[in-house]
Structure 1
Amino acid sequence: LRVVDKNFEKDEQYLYAIIPYDRSRMDTGFVFVDTRLTTEIPKAPELEKNEMENQIELRWSIQSIQNAFTAYWIERSEDGRNWKRLNNIPYLQATQNPNQEPDEYIYYTDTTIARNYLPYKYRLIGITPFAELSEPSDVIEAMGRDRSGPQPPIITSIKDVNGKIELEWQLENPPSDLKGFMIGRSSSIGGQYEPITPQMLGTSARKYTDSNPDPIDENYYVVFAIDTAGNASVSMPAYGFLIDSIPPAKPIGLTGNIDTLGVVTLRWPLGQDPDITGYRVYFANAADHEFSNLTPYPIQDTVFVDTISLNTLTKEIFYQIAAVDRNFNHSVRSDILRLVKPDIVPPVTPLISDYLVTDTAVILKIIPSSSDDVAEHILFRKGEKQTGWTPILTLNNSSLNQTEIFDNNVTGPNYYLYALQSVDSSGNKSELSPSVGVRVRQNLKVFQIEGLNASYDNQKKVVSLTWKKPQGDLKYYVIYRKVNAGKFENFASVDPDKSSFSDSELIYQGEYQYGIKGVFSSNESQISISSPVLVK
């Protein structure tokens, strides 16, 4: 609806009101007009084209015309003089969802073209809200074009031929406009395929040889079929691999260490072979044992961490590595790496198996520790009134085979406890052996009977004994006698003030020998033995 007011004065300003005839509907519209300002109809916006197969898509911007037009006429001409409108009613594009961003372009598709590659000319005429027509837009030329590529080729064969990749393909029902083929290569199946053919292959080509495949990375290939319009189709990718039977070089420079928690860290430099994909790590508890694989899959690193138990009797562990290339060729294993475990296991405890006590020494028989890394044994002693052990003797490596230990620094009467401990080369100490208690009696040398002499009186038929009286509180003497090959027997008792004795009870002829012992109030002397005498 509209109304035209031709009765106005120039350079005036007017306000118009439009009121419904039906007063029950209170709806009034207002518009302000300044006649000093003139309104010019802008030129229709420029057309842009998209040449598709059997159709042409046109578009124009609506940003530049500032809502000057509410609809459009689209016109087409084959000669540029005679124009035909393609729309029977003004073309109006519906407004999109108001919650979305506003449209930037209006689109129109001409699907009535006769054939591809027939040029047409197009122009646009804008229609204002007052049904006034704009000046036509600039003319553009467009045509339908072939946008359908050939059928995709199918790669039928790909193989290694003396270090080169040879691929073959087929193309069913080649189109009449087929122009040729191109070969693309990529290092990954989903990567960017770069053409490797210096120029397009002919329409009859069905085989191509890549003389420079990547010897390190992977090689994926596709075949492009291209028609004369530049449309291309592409085959499914195919993987071409080189047959590699040459293993990497032997790894060198393997080093490692073991900390006090049993964590082993191995390191080595990366090999020079460009196709190395990883390394395998092997270990054994002895250099002449079979090595076990620690890595089910090759590790892609030059550092490996292993965890071992230190509570074992084996003091060493051995490692090797092997390099693995992308075709799983394994190199010769590296030189064996020997690592010494931190020693936290104490040696086996030695034992005191027997003892012998004199009045001046204690002799201990021992069973040394059976551990092979023992460096020394330490003998401890504790007196009867002592609370702690005192080390008194150390046996080093040179005397570890010794089975008897002498303690000459004892006095009697006294009671001693002895224990033995072993120490290995790492300083680990065994538990103390079960203690052995011994009692040392008083030194009896001061009570010894000296100067015992025996002589036979052939006339009186008696044997006379004489001796020197000892010091000390002597209570009596005990005389012992042995006849011929018999044993010493208790023969007589003599008062302490005597220093001689006569044996008149000579029953047999032969060799007689005597002994004497002093009995004191606090001790007894050892038996003193005389020289034998011959009784006839």
Structure 2
Amino acid sequence: MKNSLLKILFAVYSFYAFQINAQDSVFVHAQFDQESLKIRWSFSGLEAMQMAFDRTWQLKIYEDEESMLVHEINVRPKENAEILRFITSASDSVTYEIYNDLIGGNLLLESPDQEAWFELGFYFGLFDNFELSKALGLGHEINGLDKTRPYRIEINLQDANPARFRVAKKKVIYQDPVIRPKPDLLSLECNDNVVTVTGLLNESAQYYSSFDLERTVQGIDSFKQINRRPLIVNYAYEGSLISQRDTISGEGTTRYRLIGKDFWGDYGPYSDIASIDPCHITYVPPYPVLIKETEEPESMVISWLIPDSLHNLLAGFNIYRSSEKFGRQEKQNSVILPATQFTFIDRNPLSVAYYQVEAIYEKNKVKRSLSVHAALLDTKAPAKPANLQAHLDTNSRVVTLKWDEVKDNDLKGYRVFFAHGPESARLLLNNLETTNPFIHDTLSKNHLHQKIYYWVTSRDFSQNESFYSDSVIVTIPDIIPPAAPHLTHIVSDEHYLDVYYDRSASTGVIMHLLQKRRRGDLDWTSI
């Protein structure tokens, strides 16, 4: 298939190749119409094309008999904004993307076959769009020439290696316009409402480089193009063939017509119109479009769509549910739902479920949708921990907290908070949840507070958190001695002593004790 398409596409433009040398070829074609002389050209080979975009094409036109220069111009690609004005089809877009890769040096080719496909993709977008060719610097149009005289066209790539890129020359004379025939009558075949449109073009194929297929349905006057890319003639078949597949609706007559476009983007006349009626009714499964919780607590609503053309063929619907994607589906409705009902509320949903909607058509035709996943949004917090207790080991200064375990299938863990007063800011003891219903907290020896308040919360995997538990208070015994007083001076005479000192700076000191001893004694006695 790939090789056939390569041959087909190559046949479209190889007729116009003008050989320069064994390495590079330039495609040159010229044609007079009623008002102007149109010229287009390009290199074969993306490497040469990339080099050409970095340089300027010099175009000269001579009156052939006298070799008198009558027109000269330098041609380069336009700015991107100007080029984009002439992008009108998917093929044009491919050409523009490859052009940008070429000038940016981003076109990476891994094999000769890949290069051939990129080359064909690039040129194909130029065949039907002469305005795009001009915008890319690969075409030119001249008005005002005397059509009775022959002309010689010379195209040269400036500042290029003359041994590789020699001047291309071509002669052109005016010819009366050819009356292009309309494409032959289309052949239509229908199977399950899929229509195969075939155009047996015969002699009309030689006048066009591509074709567009248009369609309209009963009740609509205007035709609309249905092919995303121009249709190319398949010359591998005798009689020259184009083919396109199209899906039609189950109601009304569908009409088709074909139109050809030549090398310059000009259209010929339309073919005769061919018509076809629906050949089969395609029963389609429902398409679930919405599964969400309702305003009712713990309820799930399922909505689905069916094409309008099939509504009059419906008998009703069934809803199926499973706890696993590929698990056994169980019907949720006790009686068949009406054909006019396109929603269903599951008032006893699973936390995670997979739903299917089954459409029942006339003649017992049944179509079931694919499984669609649904999950209840968890906004319910677990219960708060109860029976919080605390024990302080005064020697190690370790507080052990424990509480009753919270029973919840979605429980992630517990968070412990502490503060130095019942109204003080509550701080997290640890950043991560603890999964055990107990925890240890080691107090610093420099801890100056005499009381610590603790609380515990529980948290689930949906980040729902319970209220604080009742607090527990840990009282820290005072085991730090007060600061020593400072003896300042002593005043004495032969009967008494006056001792002067500064009191201890610590709070909570209830008395100061003054002691003495004689020189040489070891023991102190209180005064």
Which has the larger share of helix?
2
Q: TM-score, normalised by structure 2?
A: 0.36
Which has the larger share of strand?
1
Max Rg structure: 1
Q: TM-score, normalised by structure 1?
A: 0.35
Which structure's relative contact order is higher, taking Cα pairs within 8 Å and 6+ residues apart?
2
